[in-house]
């Protein structure tokens, strides 16, 4: 049997340490290893004696499609994309990443349960299965679900073999024309068995809120349900160091529910700046016998939305400085990975980002745990479709039967996360037109309110004129506008809420390190190389530039924040090149698909990160053949003014001003004539004195590879990743920003090569093969730990280049 076993408390507190069960009343078995996988139809795969010896052995989480190959025929469609304002159908390629996610596949695994008897209950929990999963245990169908992003579970007690091995089989079916982006494929999130007493807490029934908070004390309200009679609930609250700070017990059950109000003295409040967390340990007794025990982490904080203050957290007005994130993790696809998620959030934290929107699907449990720990406000979204379709085989097929069940599971499974401050019931749904759509919006919002009365609900609305006329926008707790900046004023006047949220903003497109001339503002601009300019002046037909949103955020107190599309590039939706090939991933990201910052990262950082200095200059300064031609220089900085020098000669001082939206947020020298050498910017403080400086230089020929890892040690658990940025420099150590050398990767010791990514949306090189070209002088190599601690060495080579080496350690 291949399984990972934790007590539930241990599972929940893996990142916290500090707590131990007094007796093991339940166990959680995470089915990670030993899975057999095969793509294709296997009608007998449910049988216990089915021979799967020749199937591939994989670990879960697993994404079968990320291994490619890229093929334009996979997702070629002739369609008019309504959300993009299209009326005429054209051939689209790469819309879902051009990866082979379509088809039927099977997973099989075996497990046994020691000392299992009739007093036990077993739940089988899936945290995400793409898509339309059908579950079989010991040859019998347990149940099925439809939504690939939903969490769901079944009580499988009656299907369990008491003493012998159990065979689990999962059938997944991904159909074409079912997504607008790369959805992934397979058991891409964890699968767990929860073994407990029949007299135990009901799954996801615990709800912790903090309805009353002062400087001296907080009331923690705990509601939970349990199966059984004559039971007693004992709850203890611990601080982050494991110190018990409060407790209470009760035997009173009203409407099948325990309820406790527990005082916490001198509460430490949760916020993005101080993400303090507490843990409630709930113990269920029958007489003196402990029947069940769970742990739930939570935060003490208040949220409020009002016309006077907009959004406030703990009584302090603040704006959402947020990004939207799709669920894929670039070169490892949709298979959830804690270290990859943590790296994303670290990059965003440094940018000054304080909020995440899970677009357009339910977030992973791991992402929410990290947002709790690291301090991110979270907008948890549910659907991209309701009853009316966007794509032929989308969620519209399941809406009537599953929408309520999916919302209930989302809310109950995640509502104790302090990071979540808002729900979203949909994104740009075609149901925005007409009275039926208004009724659906109200129906869904009421379900959210029933399951969680403490948080508001929004919808990302792109048909702003329609929702103003129909009343759709007026009924939302939080009116969310996707783009349509020219309608903000009118929407504010017509909607009754007294505030607006930029639920999706910008959709500016760029390719890291690529610059186009002449430099000009343009919509849907395309080029022969299928790249977009990193001068950050190109956007889509329905969208706008970052500066348009900045003005609204800064000048309109009733605009409560924004969620930029997107924090990172993602697989699929290669606008403006969705009619071109090869192009298989987005250009919207503030960071590219490899997680490397584009120039735009520093534009947002100059506004959002209010504690650290930002001084960034673009473009690079390697323009052989453009000598004497106009090559504008932009500076993104937290300072208001700066002086530019080229080879020691001053090109003048620029100061932020209100002459245009761009001048307000960028320093721009539009008439610079290119000559090789050194470009230097000197930022000036409010008194006009030099405060910081930065140089970029013209590089010689590529000479040596340089490796830099985001971490020096990784955990020896077979899952942890190190992200190693590989760049090339000349003999003088100057970066070569135009290098495209083919590189090869080799990992020795207690680690393995996992993947590589260069951020090029047109690259058809497979992520999992140990070779890839540099793009704009860089790429990222992912090194994965084994289960043995020790040394790891990554070697990167390229023809004509001095090789690079990097040593890492894996630790227990």
Neighbours of 402 (CB within 10 A): 18
Closest CA to 327 of 185, 423, 508, 193: 185
Position 2 pLDDT exceeds 70: no
Helix 365-374, helix 399-414: angle, nearest 10: 40
First to last CA, the chain: 23
Question: Do 31-197 and 207-298 have matching folds?
Answer: no
Contacts of 555 (CB under 8 A, 6+ apart): none
Q: Distance between CA atoms of 452 and 380, rounded to whole angstroms?
A: 13
- Name the active-site residue from 428, 451, 538, 562: 428
**What is the reported pLDDT for 23?**
52
Mean pLDDT of the chain: 95
Q: According to the model, what pLDDT value does residue 163 have? A: 72
**Residue 599 and residue 606 in contact, taking contact as beta carbons nearer than 8 Å:** no
- Residue tagged active-site, from 504, 538, 562, 573: 504
Contact 46, 108 (CB under 8 A): no
* Tokens of residue 423, six digits: 């729900």
d(CA 347, CA 613): 16
How confident is the model over 23-45, as pLDDT tens digits?
578 999 999 999 999 999 999 99
Distance (Å) of CA 720 to CA 341, 387, 787: 11, 40, 10
As a whole number of angstroms, the distance between CA 100 and CA 98 comes to: 7
The question of whether 127 is a catalytic residue gets the answer no
Decide if domain 704-811 falls under CATH 3.40.50.300: no
CA distances (Å), origin 790, targets 723, 748, 749, 786: 18, 11, 7, 9
Pick the CATH number of 615-697 from 3.90.1410.10, 3.30.870.10, 2.40.70.10, 2.60.40.10: 2.60.40.10
DSSP-assigned letter for residue 441:
H
pLDDT in tens, 312-347: 999 999 999 999 999 999 999 999 999 999 999 999
CATH of 31-197, one of 2.60.120.260, 3.40.220.10, 3.30.565.10, 2.60.40.10: 2.60.120.260
Q: Which CATH class is domain 207-298?
A: mainly beta
Higher pLDDT, 295 or 17: 295
Cβ contact 716:791 at 8 Å: no
The pLDDT score that the predictor gives to residue 307 is 95
User: What pLDDT, on the 0 to 100 scale, is given for residue 10?
Assistant: 39
Mean pLDDT throughout 161-171?
91
- The pLDDT of residue 19: 44
Beta bridge partners of 571: 585
Question: Does position 16 have pLDDT exceeding 50, yes or no?
Answer: no
Average pLDDT over residues 345-365: 98
CB 562 within 8 A of CB 481: no
Whether residue 226 contacts residue 292, with contact meaning beta carbons closer than 8 Å, is answered with yes
Strand, helix or coil at 475?
helix
Instruction: Answer yes or no: 202 catalytic.
Output: no
pTM for this prediction: 0.96
Residue-by-residue DSSP string for 492-533: HHHSSSS-EEEEEEE-B---TT---SS---EES---TTS---
| Nearest CA among 314, 212, 231, 236 for reference residue 269 | 314
671-693 pLDDT, tens digit per residue, is 999 999 999 999 999 999 999 99
CB atoms within 10 A of CB 686: 9
pLDDT at 305 over 60: yes
Domain ranges for the chain: 31-197, 207-298, 316-507+561-570, 615-697, 704-811
Q: φ and ψ at 719, to 5 degrees?
A: -130, -30
CATH placement of domain 316-507+561-570: 3.20.20.80
């Amino acid at each position: 049997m291949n399984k990972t076993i934790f007590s539930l408390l241990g599972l929940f507190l893996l990142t916290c340490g500090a707590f131990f069960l007094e007796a093991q009343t339940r166990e959680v078995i995470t089915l990670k290893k030993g899975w057999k996988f095969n793509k294709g139809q296997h009608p007998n795969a449910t049988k216990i004696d089915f021979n799967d010896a020749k199937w591939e052995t994989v670990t879960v989480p697993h994404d079968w499609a990320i291994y490619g190959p890229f093929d334009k025929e996979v997702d070629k469609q002739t369609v008019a994309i309504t959300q993009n304002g299209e009326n005429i159908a054209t051939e689209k390629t790469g819309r879902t990443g051009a990866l082979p996610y379509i088809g039927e596949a099977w997973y099989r695994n075996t497990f046994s349960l020691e000392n299992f008897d009739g007093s036990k209950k077993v739940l089988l929990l899936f945290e995400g299965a793409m898509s339309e999963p059908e579950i079989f245990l010991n040859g019998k169908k347990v149940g099925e679900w439809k939504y690939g992003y939903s969490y769901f579970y079944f009580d499988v007690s009656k299907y369990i073999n008491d003493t012998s091995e159990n065979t689990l089989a999962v059938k997944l079916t991904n159909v074409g024309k079912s997504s607008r982006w790369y959805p992934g494929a397979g058991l891409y999130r964890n699968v767990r068995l929860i073994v407990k007493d029949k007299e135990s807490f009901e799954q996801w029934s615990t709800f912790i809120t903090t309805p009353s908070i002062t400087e001296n004390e907080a009331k923690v309200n705990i509601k939970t349900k349990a199966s059984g009679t004559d039971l007693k609930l004992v709850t203890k609250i611990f601080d982050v160091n494991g110190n018990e700070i409060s407790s209470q017990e009760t035997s009173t059950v009203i409407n099948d529910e325990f309820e406790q109000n527990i005082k916490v003295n001198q509460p430490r409040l949760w916020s993005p700046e101080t993400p303090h967390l507490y843990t409630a340990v709930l113990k269920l007794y029958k007489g003196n016998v402990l029947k069940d025990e769970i742990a739930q982490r939570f935060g003490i904080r208040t949220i409020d939305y009002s016309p006077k203050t907009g959004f406030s957290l703990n009584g302090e007005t603040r704006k959402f400085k947020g990004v939207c994130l799709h669920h894929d993790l670039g070169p490892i696809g949709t298979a959830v990975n804690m270290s990859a998620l943590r790296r994303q959030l670290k990059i965003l934290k440094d940018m000054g980002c304080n909020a995440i929107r899970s677009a357009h699907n339910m977030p992973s449990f791991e992402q929410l745990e990290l947002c709790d720990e690291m301090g991110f406000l979270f907008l948890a979204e549910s659907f991209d479709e309701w009853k009316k379709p966007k794509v032929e085989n989308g969620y519209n097929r399941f809406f009537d039967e599953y929408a309520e069940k999916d919302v209930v599971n989302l809310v109950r499974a995640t509502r104790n996360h302090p990071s979540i401050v808002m729900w979203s019931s949909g994104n740009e749904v075609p149901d925005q037109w007409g009275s039926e759509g208004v009724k659906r919006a109200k129906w869904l919002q009421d379900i959210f309110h029933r399951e969680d009365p403490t948080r508001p609900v929004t919808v990302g609305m792109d048909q702003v004129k329609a929702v103003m006329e129909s009343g759709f926008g007026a009924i939302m707790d939080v009116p969310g506008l996707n783009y349509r900046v020219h309608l903000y004023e009118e929407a504010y006047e017509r909607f009754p809420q007294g505030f607006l949220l930029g639920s999706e903003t910008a959709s500016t497109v760029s390719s890291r390190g690529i610059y186009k001339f002449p430099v000009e503002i343009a919509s849907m601009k395309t080029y022969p190389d299928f790249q977009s300019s990193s001068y950050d002046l190109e956007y889509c037909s329905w969208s706008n530039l970052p500066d348009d949103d900045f003005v609204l955020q800064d000048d309109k107190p009733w605009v409560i924040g924004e969620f930029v599309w997107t924090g990172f590039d993602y697989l699929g939706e290669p606008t403006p090149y969705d009619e071109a090939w090869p192009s298989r991933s987005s250009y919207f990201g503030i960071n590219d698909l490899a997680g490397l910052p584009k120039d735009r990262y520093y534009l947002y950082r100059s506004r959002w990160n209010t504690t650290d200095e930002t001084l960034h200059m673009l473009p690079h300064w390697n323009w052989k053949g453009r000598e004497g031609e106009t090559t504008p220089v932009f500076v993104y900085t937290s300072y208001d003014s700066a002086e530019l020098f080229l080879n020691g000669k001053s090109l003048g001082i620029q100061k932020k001003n209100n002459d245009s939206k761009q001048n307000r947020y960028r320093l721009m020298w539009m008439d610079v004539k290119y000559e090789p050498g050194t470009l230097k910017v000197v930022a000036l403080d409010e008194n006009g004195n030099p405060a910081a400086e930065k140089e970029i230089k013209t590089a010689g020929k590529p000479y040596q590879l340089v490796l830099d890892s985001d971490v020096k040690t990784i955990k020896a658990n077979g899952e942890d990743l190190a992200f190693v940025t590989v760049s090339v420099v000349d003999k003088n150590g100057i970066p070569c920003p135009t290098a495209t050398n083919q590189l090869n990767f080799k990992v020795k010791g207690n680690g393995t090569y996992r993947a590589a990514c260069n951020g090029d949306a047109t690259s058809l090189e497979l992520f999992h093969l140990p070779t890839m070209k540099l793009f704009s002088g860089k790429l990222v190599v992912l090194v994965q730990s084994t289960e043995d601690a020790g040394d790891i060495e990554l070697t990167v080579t390229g023809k004509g280049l001095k090789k690079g080496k990097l040593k890492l350690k894996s630790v227990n």
